[in-house]
Amino acid sequence: MVSATKVEGEYSFLSKNSHLDQSEGVKIHLYRFGAEHRNDKLKSLACSEQDGPSLLDTILLSQWDNFALKGHLDYDVTACQLKVIGGGRNFVGQLNNKWNPFSLKEYDKFLSFTCLKTNSMKSYEGLLLGIAQGENDRPEVTPSASPPKDGLLVIANAYPVEYGHIFLVPSAINQLSCYWDKVMIGLATKISSEVNNAAFRVFFDSRTSVVSGHMIFQACYFAIPLPVESASTFMVYDGNGKARSDIIVSETVDYPLKALVFTSTNLKALVSVVSEISVSLHDNATAYSLLISNNGTKVFLFPQVKNLVTGCCLSAWECGGYFVYHTKFGFDNASETEISNRMGSVSLEDSTFEDLKHLCCAIADDLCKLMQNVTA
């Protein structure tokens, strides 16, 4: 009754107290979305503030902290100092001498992993959760012996850029990529919506996150607001004077990196427009990053040109205004000017950006017409 028990065990959910332990061979927790769970409609005004954390939020945090507790992380990212960089834009700097951007390129592991037979899954501690569509009204967590056929796997990043850093990896890779891109954007946005936590952001980088034609999203909890989220915006499309559009397209004003912002409480409309544009950018071989924030109601698109000096693009969180510094010197001397210059060096030319803006408005307008025809 009063003895200490070390919490041990290879796998958290095989613990003696778990509900899952009866069935031998259970290897994965599968989170199933509620069927069309308040997706297409405006979220009830009251729900976001009054309710506590959502089920998905709690499970992600539980599983991630458990992964950290067992010592699988390379470092404790919460021990890395954060600061808001002076100058008015509130760029955020993190001092982290262990973070290595190349660690993000371990995608081979995921691919081999997702192809593996189910009995090998036990050997992979980083697998936190499977996520798939569900048929019940409410979201639920069920034990599963195999990865979801049409969903994704949540895999912890042992080199986190922030607390709760995860990869969202498609669980089946032998599907047509153009179809899967839309599915992945849809799932990523829906996860953002169901986590329903303002700190949770989902992001995607076209240069580093496409493996064999498949999109891999990432996500983590940023405790501090990202500067791009509070940047001024100018609306460029809201339905062209027709009946109220489900989607609003804006561009950032006075932000050093040109960006487009898609806002909608209609998840399907938002996903349709963003995936159309992603396909176009992909076909044009244009590098871009996506940042999904505000509980899945806002998507930032950062088109980028390759920096001629460094040959690098910025990652989605850098586009959002969050930078990691490897040295104390770099951290102490971080300045808004230096960051603005880095952003400016990958920002599109005015004319190219105008073209992209028109393309986005046209796609949004097509979708708007289509939806009105459907409802008419």
What are the residues binding other proteins (CB under 8 A)?
1-7, 12-13, 15, 17-20, 29, 45-46, 48-53, 55, 57-66, 69, 76, 78-84, 95, 140-143, 163-164, 197, 199, 221, 223-224
Q: Which is nearer to other proteins, 45 or 176 (CB)?
A: 45
Q: If residue 94 lies in a helix (H) or strand (E), which one and from where to where?
A: strand 92-95
Rounded least distance, CB 168 to other proteins, Å = 18
Which residues, other chains included, contact 12 with Cβ-Cβ below 8 Å and sequence gap of 6+?
A: 18, 63, 66
Q: Do 205 and 216 meet the contact criterion of CB atoms below 8 Å apart?
A: no
Q: Which is nearer to other proteins, 82 or 210 (CB)?
A: 82
Rounded least distance, CB 368 to other proteins, Å = 23
Rounded least distance, CB 50 to other proteins, Å = 8
Q: Which residue has the tokens 């507790």?
A: 69
Which residues, other chains included, contact 136 with Cβ-Cβ below 8 Å and sequence gap of 6+?
A: 32, 34, 35
For 298, counting Cβ atoms within 10 Å of its Cβ (0-12 exposed, 13-18 middle, 19+ buried), the class is buried
Please name every residue paired with 249 in a beta bridge, in sequence order, or none if there are none. 237, 262
Separation between Cα atoms, residue 172 and residue 333, nearest integer Å: 45
Rounded least distance, CB 236 to other proteins, Å = 22
Separation between Cα atoms, residue 83 and residue 92, nearest integer Å: 6
Q: Which is nearer to other proteins, 48 or 333 (CB)?
A: 48
The torsion angle over the Cα atoms of residues 315, 319, 325 and 330, rounded to 10 degrees, is 130
Q: Which is nearer to other proteins, 40 or 65 (CB)?
A: 65
Rounded least distance, CB 199 to other proteins, Å = 5
Q: Do 256 and 344 meet the contact criterion of CB atoms below 8 Å apart?
A: yes
Q: Which is nearer to other proteins, 12 or 275 (CB)?
A: 12
Q: Is 135 helix (H, G, I), strand (E, B) or coil?
A: coil
Q: Which is nearer to other proteins, 192 or 345 (CB)?
A: 192
Would you list the DSSP string of 345-362? HHSPPHHHHHHHHHHHHH
Rounded least distance, CB 17 to other proteins, Å = 5
Q: Which is nearer to other proteins, 53 or 86 (CB)?
A: 53
Backbone angles phi, psi at 268, to 5 degrees: -65, -45
Q: Which is nearer to other proteins, 32 or 258 (CB)?
A: 32
How many Å is the maximal CA-CA distance in the chain? 72
Rounded least distance, CB 143 to other proteins, Å = 6
130: its two tokens: 């499977």
Rounded least distance, CB 272 to other proteins, Å = 28
